[in-house]
Structure 1
Amino acid sequence: MSRRQVLSLLPAAGLLTVASPSRAAAGVDHARLLANTVAIFAGTPEVNARPEVAGNLAVILRNAKQRLTAMDQAGDGELFSGLRLGTDDANLRLAFQYLYEIALATRTPGGELEGDAAAQRRVVDGLLWLHERYYGNQSAGYYGNWFNWEIGISTQVSRTLALLAERLRAERPDLTATYIASMDAYLRNGKNGDVDLDSRFHTGANLADITGNRILQGALTGDDARVGKAISDQATVFATIDPYNLQHGVTDGYYRDGSFIQHDSVAYTGSYGKALLTRVVQTLKMLEGATSGGTSDLAGVVYRWVADGFAPLIFEGWMMEIVKGRAASRTTTGYADVGVVVEAVSDLADHVEGAGALALKKYVKFLPAADTATFVSPISVARYAAIRADSAIPAADLNAPERCVAFNAMDRTVHRRPGYAFALARSSDRISKYEYMSGENLMPWFQGDGAYYLYLAGEDQREVFGVDYYTAVSPYRLAGITAPVQERRTVPELYGRLWYENPGHPLNFTSSSESQNTYVYFPRAGNAFSGGTTLGAYGAAGMVQSDDAAYTAKQAGILPDDFVAYQNARATKSWFMLDNEIVVLAAGVSGEGGRDAVTTVDSRIAAPGDAVVLTGEGWTGKAWQTGDTTPPRWLRYANGTRRTAIGYAFLTRQAVAAGLETVTRSRRVVRTSNPDTSVTKNVFTASIAHPTTGAVPALAYALVPNATEARLRGYADGHLVVLANDRHVQAIKHKTLGIVAANVFSDGPRHAERLLIDGPASVIVQSGKRTVVALSDPTMKRDRVSVVLLGASLRLDKADEGVTVRRVPGGTLIQATTRHTHGRTFTATLR
């Protein structure tokens, strides 16, 4: 078959235990499938009678009434008042969405507009009007964003046709076929009006959206072949991506370590990942009782997405910024993002077998209460309410209280402890430095350069992170980054449009071209070293900072003369994640090109009225004050209003510029379509300058969540030691924990304490009653990685497959076969 070999990739037979479209459609009850779909979005009489669903139903009714009023007030050339059509594809998508919202209200049991024939006729007339004037002419359509034409509009139309199927069969039996033919014609990134699994546009969440629409279209027309192929195509998104055996060249999807990638190289769990989760769970619900096959095997795959992919990235009901791509600039909050996940998980629990179902329900109960008025399905609201009200279900996190997760496939790390979570964003020649697109995330340049986010328990994260963080904090002072001292301009400022246009160039720069993706929207970095190791709940990560693909190509003369590319600063960095602190090392820092550079230790925002206090102490024990030019031994940022604090214990001596500044900016500075809402925040920044002359030596510091001054003074006792900090090796020792952790960036054996490490590698060793060694290859290019424990004569207790241990002169050699393991950690326990 000219599609992925689904059955060989999935852990079980597949969505309908079928291997071909014809067998996929066998046994499909199209009427049941459509009834399921209507119930998903409109509810049922029994469900809608429940008081918990009232808020959701009120939203459905309110939206429909607003759309009907807008139709009444429409002027010449308008279907809805104020929605100009003909040149704006987003407005055309909205017009179809508004029709859907009216149709939905007419099919909502118990609603005021249920069965309203007049409203339904207005929807049908609206569909006819839009098709005749703005959609049916294929030569006039397909301007703007491809997504609206191939997915956005088709989603609204397909659902509207499903909601009004009976009326259309009775009154306009030709309309459904007419629209399906047009939707096929607009599927221009496909093949012959259908999905093309070789297309870079038909992957991941996008593929699930397209195939979900086509399943509905096939059910509407009784087209077994369409339903069967759409089911088969969608089933491919369940396959775990093997980067060494890509199917159709597709890197989008879920990886073994829980990573999710969309757009070929963007870490995207928190946006496209949740969209994919929602869509596949909806498909499971659509097919329930409508097929002869089971779905529990694939539901089990989705369970692992939730447990290993989503749960680590959700902190007290907030979706972390590091996996949201350009969506980080939207006003939608991390809590709303998690609400989408909660709805899907509530439904998924009914499809997962065994202990997984209970674990999901426990997790739903563990997370903060969601705003069910934003749920898509009234049935989901009822399921969610039942889970929350069930006293037999205890609340339980899917995360262990102490957890460190290396999402090395997408260059992300999450470190969790009771009281805080630390999230780190890196980049490499595999993963993009950032994502900009469509006027979203206008100033993203350093978001993948080791930017980190320290979430404290009990905070309202809307006041600390989210869109207001990016609005108020300078893009050159994001927490954790090292940036050159140079002002940059946004894409609209540079080119006067939302993308770079040059169709006459050999690279054919147009809005959605591959060259646009590669050099404008989400350029990758140039470094191979980006990754790390976990040992139990401890972690080490490292990265060599580099230029992005655009600057490299510009220097090589590949890009047009008017294309603007910026050189990056250089740095070698490590993050060692322990219990009470995260240790950060930086070496080889240079602004490049005669520029200074600045490393930002932290940037945090607070409301103007919050009682924020900054204290510190110098190396002589003298109190440190804002504006002090002497190196501090520690600083402490405390928000008395929110009862939170973070400490910064400096392990090397250098001047630190730290202080508070009141900043007022519009949210539109980070996204052109954001409301022009002014945000005023007190911005705390602590940074270290790297001048071109008299450069600051390598620096080291520890982030100490929830720190007291007494704890910060305790770092003087020497329990935390920097063993090495240069461009070749960065290593620390924590005497209390018995941990030595090192990142080796260069070839050849390198020393760290009593370790001899064959680099490049990332290694953690913890000594106690047993000695445990964890190691990985952050470059993902090596066949094997080895470390010698010098002076030790140890025997193997247990080890991961692929690890060997033997005695060598002077010590014990631990070697792991890392070929084609994509940065995975290997461990060995010795005695």
Structure 2
Amino acid sequence: MTPATGTTRRTVLAGAAALGAAVTLPLALGPVNAYAASGEAGALRERWHTLLTGGPALDLSDERIAAAVARTGRAADTAVKGLDPARTDGLFPDLTSTTLSNHVTTSFKRLAVVATAWAVPGTPQHADPALRDLLLAGIDWMLTNRYGPGHTRFDNDWDWEIGSALALNDSAVLLYDVLGAERLERVTAAVRHYTPDPNLWRADRQIATGANRVWVSTVVAVNAVLRDDGDGLARVRDALSDVEGSGANSVLAFNDSTDGTAGTGEGFYADGSFLQHYKHPYNGGYGKELLNSLSRLLNLLAGTAWTVTDPDLDNVRTWVHEGFEPLLARGDVMASVCGREIARPSKQGHASAQTVIEAVLRLIPGFPGEAADGFTALVKQWMAEDTYRDFLAVTDPASLVAALDAIGSPVPARGPLTVHKQHPRMDKAAHHRPSFALGISAYSSRIYNYESIQNENLHGWHLSDGMVLLYTDDLGHYSEDYWPTVDPARLPGTTVVAGRPADSAGQRTTSTADWAGGTALPGTTLGAYGMELRAYGSTLRGLKSWFCLDDVIACVGSGISGGAGTVETVVENRKLGDPSAALLVDGVPVSGEPGWSARLDGARWLHVEGTGGYVFPEPATLHGLREERTATWREINLKYGTDAPVTRPYLTLWQDHGTSPEDAGYFWLQAPAASAARTRQWSAAPPVELLARSGAVHAVRRAADGLVAANFWGAGAAQELSCDGPASVLVRPEGRTLTVAVSDPTQLRSSVVLGLDSPGLKVVAADPGISVTPSGRGLRITADTAGLHGATLGLTLKRS
């Protein structure tokens, strides 16, 4: 196998001098050998084989490895059922469609599952000659009847160029020694027919971006290994950096890089955001698949003449720590960044987090020193804290070997995550405290509301209308059939017009409002977040804020107007682990029976057992409902859903603003994981005071230290703080020190000007772009926000 010569992305984009800074990544799970330019393809096939099987040296005396091998065998037992190459309508009786392309992919995936068990030592199927012949006949059937140059593609390009090709490649590697030359040629020719170029995909040969580029590159790479094609591997290496496009669609570079090479905007951003399908937040969907596939590719190419040496490869560390770490809550990937995958039954139960963990495990050997230690600490924490789904009991043999190596490392686990993290590039925020995590989902003129394509995620109407997802010790809350059974018209945190729109209504829509985002104090769990809501298909408008102040979230709404129907703000909608979980209203228990509903007038505080407390400093009228909700996955996903009814218990609490309200609002304090006693205490002495709730500004003050958090919708003032226009601001006093954080959530302003009416302050430190001048009794603070895309600027002041 001889590598191609010629220009690489480094010579195009960085110059030959950059070669000295290149990072070589020996990522293979087993011992890594460097291969000469004329190295044998067999070594790379063996490397891919090891990624699929764990290699020939699996220690079956280890009970955990033996269990993983047994799982591999059981999966094959399930996959092989119905496999019959004598059939004429389909290789499997339930996969006979010639209009649904996922039937083709699923057929190939089942063959790959069975081939894996055939190749893994210790399974009942290992090296079974009858099974070998059945697999070969199955591949022949698919090539003759469904897949290859003689067949017309139908339905979804992804199945032909990526899904089917990946699975067929894997089967070919696993069965390579028994395929025979003629069959191997048919396999590789069929894959090349659909996926010949790592830069392009779809029938009309569009430029591949984001996860799709890594997928097609993986298809081309394994096909090249099967054909002993060094030129093909060189093209794959360069496609990851988009050499042909001068880096415009590099999957390794941040999309907001300043070198002018940004392409379609799909992929990772420096703040950890990931977008796919142009404007959809997708870290937990396409983002995790990009990381997963790239980690495999890097393993395949490491230490060879085709090693990826792009300096932007170091960005992967940021992907992991900024784009995944804050979006995982004890084994659950926050649903706000999973796109339409939340509507797939196969993706619940922390399955997406498993993919992320497996990918990071593969990365560890290739990032030496501090980076590898950081990855190791992270995966050890992820595996240990997910007590809902034991990673070691569900992963594949190869990943299990890597996981056991990480567990045996002297590097300690990271420890519980405590951070407030905002992703301005995708209008999302995550708030992690030791006893809970919270995810806030907004959208704007820059970001789509939700995705519903391929007949999936049909009821995602309000996923970005201020949805607030609370993650507590009930680790399975968003698993076990949450998404088909939850009332999609009453997602927690949202302000909506009551009723159910048509399936997929409004999907792939941006808002006409620019204001979505907030500001955060680094190194703390203090953040201000908000959005201007302009509802799709309705005249409903409103201003919504969430001031995340450690263990208390102050929820503020104003200007709620319009909507040709009843308008509601949902305080909570909880799938109950205990159907009779106690609900206290001002300390009085209410019925725990299904079917209970009530109007709760003048409520001052509520407490939901196992969830936390809600304090209403302004007594509010609420509505409560307990119900057993029954649905099927097919109702939200025609493609992958099932028809079996599932029933789950829910408790819903909401405020009714009436029909077509004018300037309605709300204010409550959410205290996740708080006890009933603590909630009662905070009701008597609220820890947060409302300073302003108007069309100009939302602002609150924390009683304990005087911290002020404010979202300015326009020019306005809140006691000692004023602003010349849209902005999000935090002012935190600590003794004689005052810390100020400011951002432009509209991402349109060139500068933000704050007035701070507080005497005797001097500048100690300021981020670049902040200037301070005296003004009256206080200071005039000017923050240059041009080009920051919503990022926070900070300033430290001290009293003289």
- Return the TM-score normalized by structure 1: 0.84
Contact 2:295-2:362 within 8 A present in 1 as well? yes
**1:130-149 counterparts in 2 under 5 A?**
130-137=142-149, 140-149=151-160
- Establish whether residue 543 from structure 1 lines up as the match of residue 525 from structure 2: no
- Establish whether residue 205 from structure 1 lines up as the match of residue 221 from structure 2: no
Contact 1:655-1:688 within 8 A present in 2 as well? yes
- CA drift at 1:616: 1.9
| Alignment correspondent of 2:173 | 162
- Establish whether residue 227 from structure 1 lines up as the match of residue 227 from structure 2: no
Q: Secondary structure at the match of 2:586?
A: strand
C-alpha separation in 1, matches of 2:445 and 2:498: 24
AA matched with 1:210? V
Q: 1:409 to 1:246 in 2, by over 3 A?
A: farther
Q: Secondary structure at the match of 1:434?
A: coil
Indicate which of 695, 707, 730 corresponds to 1:764: 730
Q: 1:151 to 1:318 in 2, by over 3 A?
A: same
C-alpha separation in 2, matches of 1:29 and 1:290: 11
Contact 1:605-1:684 within 8 A present in 2 as well? yes
AA matched with 2:526? Y
| Alignment correspondent of 2:387 | none
AA matched with 2:514? A
Structure 1 stretch 594-603 or stretch 706-715: which is displaced more? 706-715
**1:456-605 counterparts in 2 under 5 A?**
456=472, 458-459=473-474, 461-462=475-476, 464-466=477-479, 468-491=481-504, 521-535=507-521, 536-548=524-536, 566-567=537-538, 569-592=540-563, 594-605=564-575
Indicate which of 611, 632, 641 corresponds to 2:580: 611
C-alpha separation in 2, matches of 1:358 and 1:411: 31
Indicate which of 382, 395, 399 corresponds to 1:375: 395
| Alignment correspondent of 2:333 | 319
**Residues 501-530 of structure 1: CA deviation (Å, up to 9, x unaligned):** xxxxxxxxxxxxxxxxxx864222221100
C-alpha separation in 1, matches of 2:740 and 2:707: 10
Q: 1:631 to 1:66 in 2, by over 3 A?
A: closer
Q: Secondary structure at the match of 1:47?
A: coil
Contact 2:419-2:432 within 8 A present in 1 as well? yes
AA matched with 1:282? R
| Alignment correspondent of 1:670 | 636
Indicate which of 599, 603, 621 corresponds to 1:632: 603
Q: Secondary structure at the match of 1:261?
A: strand
AA matched with 2:195? D
| Alignment correspondent of 1:511 | none
| Alignment correspondent of 2:294 | 280
- Establish whether residue 38 from structure 1 lines up as the match of residue 49 from structure 2: yes
Contact 2:233-2:306 within 8 A present in 1 as well? no
Q: Secondary structure at the match of 1:698?
A: strand
- Establish whether residue 394 from structure 1 lines up as the match of residue 412 from structure 2: yes
**1:648-727 counterparts in 2 under 5 A?**
648-672=614-638, 673-692=640-659, 697-713=664-680, 714-717=682-685, 719-727=687-695
C-alpha separation in 1, matches of 2:625 and 2:79: 50
- Establish whether residue 349 from structure 1 lines up as the match of residue 374 from structure 2: no
Q: Secondary structure at the match of 1:465?
A: coil
- CA drift at 1:134: 2.0
C-alpha separation in 2, matches of 1:66 and 1:150: 26
Indicate which of 51, 57, 79 corresponds to 2:69: 57
AA matched with 1:353? P
**Residues 151-176 of structure 1: CA deviation (Å, up to 9, x unaligned):** 11111122223333344454545324
Structure 1 stretch 125-134 or stretch 335-344: which is displaced more? 125-134
AA matched with 1:451? M
Q: 1:580 to 1:530 in 2, by over 3 A?
A: same
**Residues 743-797 of structure 1: CA deviation (Å, up to 9, x unaligned):** 1112xx4111201212210000011221100000101111111212114342211
AA matched with 1:667? W
- Establish whether residue 308 from structure 1 lines up as the match of residue 322 from structure 2: yes
Contact 1:721-1:734 within 8 A present in 2 as well? yes
AA matched with 1:688? Q
Contact 1:74-1:82 within 8 A present in 2 as well? no
- CA drift at 1:250: 1.8
C-alpha separation in 2, matches of 1:317 and 1:307: 15
Contact 2:744-2:752 within 8 A present in 1 as well? yes
- Return the TM-score normalized by structure 2: 0.87
Q: Secondary structure at the match of 2:459?
A: coil
C-alpha separation in 1, matches of 2:11 and 2:445: 28
Q: 1:28 to 1:802 in 2, by over 3 A?
A: farther
- CA drift at 1:65: 4.5
Contact 2:350-2:479 within 8 A present in 1 as well? no
C-alpha separation in 2, matches of 1:367 and 1:537: 20
- Establish whether residue 805 from structure 1 lines up as the match of residue 772 from structure 2: yes
C-alpha separation in 2, matches of 1:627 and 1:192: 56
- CA drift at 1:144: 1.0
Contact 1:729-1:744 within 8 A present in 2 as well? yes
Indicate which of 103, 112, 117 corresponds to 2:115: 103
**Residues 644-685 of structure 1: CA deviation (Å, up to 9, x unaligned):** 241111133431112322322333322233222333232111
Q: 1:777 to 1:406 in 2, by over 3 A?
A: same
Contact 1:326-1:435 within 8 A present in 2 as well? yes
- CA drift at 1:311: 1.2
Contact 1:296-1:353 within 8 A present in 2 as well? no
Indicate which of 413, 423, 429 corresponds to 2:445: 429
Q: 1:523 to 1:15 in 2, by over 3 A?
A: farther
C-alpha separation in 2, matches of 1:288 and 1:568: 56
Contact 2:270-2:318 within 8 A present in 1 as well? no
Structure 1 stretch 109-118 or stretch 529-538: which is displaced more? 109-118
**1:261-280 counterparts in 2 under 5 A?**
261-280=275-294
AA matched with 1:371? F
Contact 1:483-1:568 within 8 A present in 2 as well? no
Contact 1:299-1:351 within 8 A present in 2 as well? no
| Alignment correspondent of 1:739 | 707
Q: 1:738 to 1:543 in 2, by over 3 A?
A: same
Q: 1:756 to 1:67 in 2, by over 3 A?
A: closer
| Alignment correspondent of 1:502 | none
Contact 1:793-1:812 within 8 A present in 2 as well? no
C-alpha separation in 2, matches of 1:581 and 1:547: 27
Contact 1:469-1:604 within 8 A present in 2 as well? no
Q: 1:660 to 1:117 in 2, by over 3 A?
A: closer
Indicate which of 193, 197, 201 corresponds to 1:190: 201
| Alignment correspondent of 2:190 | 179
Contact 1:773-1:829 within 8 A present in 2 as well? yes
Contact 1:723-1:730 within 8 A present in 2 as well? yes
AA matched with 2:739? V
* Count of residue pairs the alignment pairs up: 756
| Alignment correspondent of 2:422 | 406
AA matched with 2:152? G
AA matched with 2:770? V
| Alignment correspondent of 1:563 | none
Indicate which of 152, 158, 163 corresponds to 2:163: 152
C-alpha separation in 2, matches of 1:181 and 1:381: 32
Contact 2:545-2:556 within 8 A present in 1 as well? yes
AA matched with 2:763? L
AA matched with 1:699? Y
Q: 1:80 to 1:795 in 2, by over 3 A?
A: same
- CA drift at 1:320: 1.6
- CA drift at 1:342: 1.6
- CA drift at 1:470: 2.6
Q: Secondary structure at the match of 1:123?
A: helix
Contact 2:575-2:651 within 8 A present in 1 as well? yes
Q: Secondary structure at the match of 1:650?
A: strand
AA matched with 2:701? K
Structure 1 stretch 304-313 or stretch 408-417: which is displaced more? 304-313
C-alpha separation in 1, matches of 2:426 and 2:251: 17
Q: 1:246 to 1:57 in 2, by over 3 A?
A: farther
| Alignment correspondent of 1:416 | 432
| Alignment correspondent of 2:90 | 78
